């Protein structure tokens, strides 16, 4: 039997230190860091070396909360990178339905596009009333004072649940318990499944869902192994905490 090779990267939504700029803050996936970067004077529409703005990066990594926060604070939702692509282009490419719907609800439009029939990406139909509604967003933000930035729902850093034994133990758990799908074996398929899940203040895993998947043939197994995780350790979690913690696990399958 061929050995399953699985690489794991757990992206936590909060870290120990604030990001130095808006792009690092966005890539961290932490709304608190985005807020801090903006209050420190960073431009909400700043472009990186590829011309991508924070909302494009958030759409690319699939962070709904950061996308929504940037929209709430009047970012330029239809800004384009150096190849003419918009945040909506990125969300469609990543097949993230929730973010795509959020962007379209806020009148986002497609730019140059990065979709093709070969990869299964389809451009949604542009509605006649969607173009032009956000052309003033950039100007609105520039006239908005830092004091008027909306604060994230949770701003204070607090302890998080931890998989029993830490990340190394989590990696071992997945590697030891995951089963490579038999239906994928005949074609030697490989791919990555990105799983989003929540952990309650009591350490229970819940609300498991796929945010991105290279091949749906791996989805059921990815969901199963996450759902069957043991209860997480919560000794550092505030006893008054009622809101769940969010985590993401990209799992790579290879025969």
pLDDT tens column, 47-89: 988 899 999 999 999 999 999 999 999 999 999 999 999 999 9
Alpha carbon distance 49, 79 (integer Å): 15
Do 54 and 37 touch, CB atoms closer than 8 A?
no
Q: How many CB atoms lie within 10 A of CB 31?
A: 24
Question: Is the separation of the CB atoms in 194 and 218 below 8 Å?
Answer: no
**High-pLDDT (> 70) share of the chain, %:** 74
As a whole number of angstroms, the distance between CA 81 and CA 91 comes to: 14
User: 203: pLDDT confidence band, cut at 50, 70 and 90?
Assistant: very high
Mean pLDDT throughout 158-167? 87
Task: Using pLDDT thresholds of 50, 70 and 90, give the confidence band for residue 147.
Answer: low
| Tokens matching residue 12 | 């936590």
Q: Is the pLDDT of residue 218 over 50?
A: yes
Residue 26: what are its φ and ψ, rounded to 5°?
-65, -45
188 Ramachandran zone, left/alpha/beta (phi>0; psi -120 to 50): left
- Which of 134-138, 150-154, 185-189, 204-208 reaches the highest mean pLDDT? 204-208
Share of the chain above pLDDT 90, in %: 43
Helix (H) or strand (E) holding 191: strand 191-199
Residue 255 C-beta-side C-alpha neighbours within 13 Å: 11
pLDDT (average), residues 205-216: 93
- Mean pLDDT, residues 95-115: 86
CA dist 216 and 222 (Å) reads 10
pLDDT confidence band for 236 (50 / 70 / 90): confident
**For residue 250, how far is the Cα from the chain centroid?**
11
With beta carbons less than 8 A apart as the criterion, state whether 234 and 202 touch: yes
Instruction: State residue 154's pLDDT score.
Output: 46
User: How is residue 144 annotated by DSSP?
Assistant: S
Give the C-alpha separation, 22 to 42, whole Å: 6
pLDDT attached to residue 156: 46
Handedness of CA 67, 69, 71, 73 (dihedral sign): negative
pLDDT of the residue at 113:
64
DSSP state of 232: P
Residue 138 DSSP SS3: helix
Query: How far apart, in Å, are the Cα atoms of 103 and each of 61, 94, 95, 150?
Result: 15, 14, 13, 19
Do 83 and 51 form a contact (C-beta atoms < 8 A)? yes
Domains, the chain, in order of start with CATH, read 17-148 (1.25.40.20), 167-253 (3.30.2420.10)
Whole-structure pTM value: 0.48
pLDDT for 35: 86
Mean pLDDT of the chain: 79
Q: What is the pLDDT of residue 126?
A: 41
Q: Token pair of 32, please?
A: 């608190």
- Give the pLDDT of residue 153: 58
pLDDT at 141 over 80: no
């Amino acid at each position: 039997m061929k050995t399953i090779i699985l690489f794991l990267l757990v992206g936590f939504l909060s870290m120990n230190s604030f990001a130095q700029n808006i792009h690092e803050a966005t890539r961290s996936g932490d709304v608190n860091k985005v807020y801090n970067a903006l209050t420190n004077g960073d431009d909400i529409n700043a472009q990186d070396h590829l011309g991508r703005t924070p909302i494009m990066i958030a759409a690319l990594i699939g962070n709904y909360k950061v996308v929504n926060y940037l929209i709430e604070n009047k970012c330029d939702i239809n800004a384009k990178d150096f190849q003419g692509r918009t945040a909506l282009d990125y969300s469609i490419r990543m097949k993230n339905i929730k973010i795509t719907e959020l962007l379209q609800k806020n009148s986002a439009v497609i730019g140059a596009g990065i979709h093709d029939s070969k990869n299964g990406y389809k451009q949604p139909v542009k509605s006649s009333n969607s173009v032009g509604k956000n052309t003033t967003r950039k100007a609105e933000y520039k006239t908005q004072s830092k004091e008027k930035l909306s604060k994230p729902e949770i701003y204070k850093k607090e302890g998080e649940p931890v998989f029993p034994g830490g990340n190394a133990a989590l990696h071992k758990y997945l590697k030891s318990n995951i089963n490579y799908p038999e239906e994928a074996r005949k074609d030697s398929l490989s791919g990555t499944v990105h799983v989003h899940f929540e952990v309650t203040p009591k350490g229970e895993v819940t609300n498991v869902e796929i945010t991105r998947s290279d091949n749906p043939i791996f989805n059921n197994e990815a969901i199963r192994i996450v759902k069957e995780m043991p209860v997480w350790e919560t000794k550092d979690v505030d006893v008054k905490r009622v809101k769940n913690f969010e985590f993401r696990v990209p799992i790579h399958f290879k025969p």
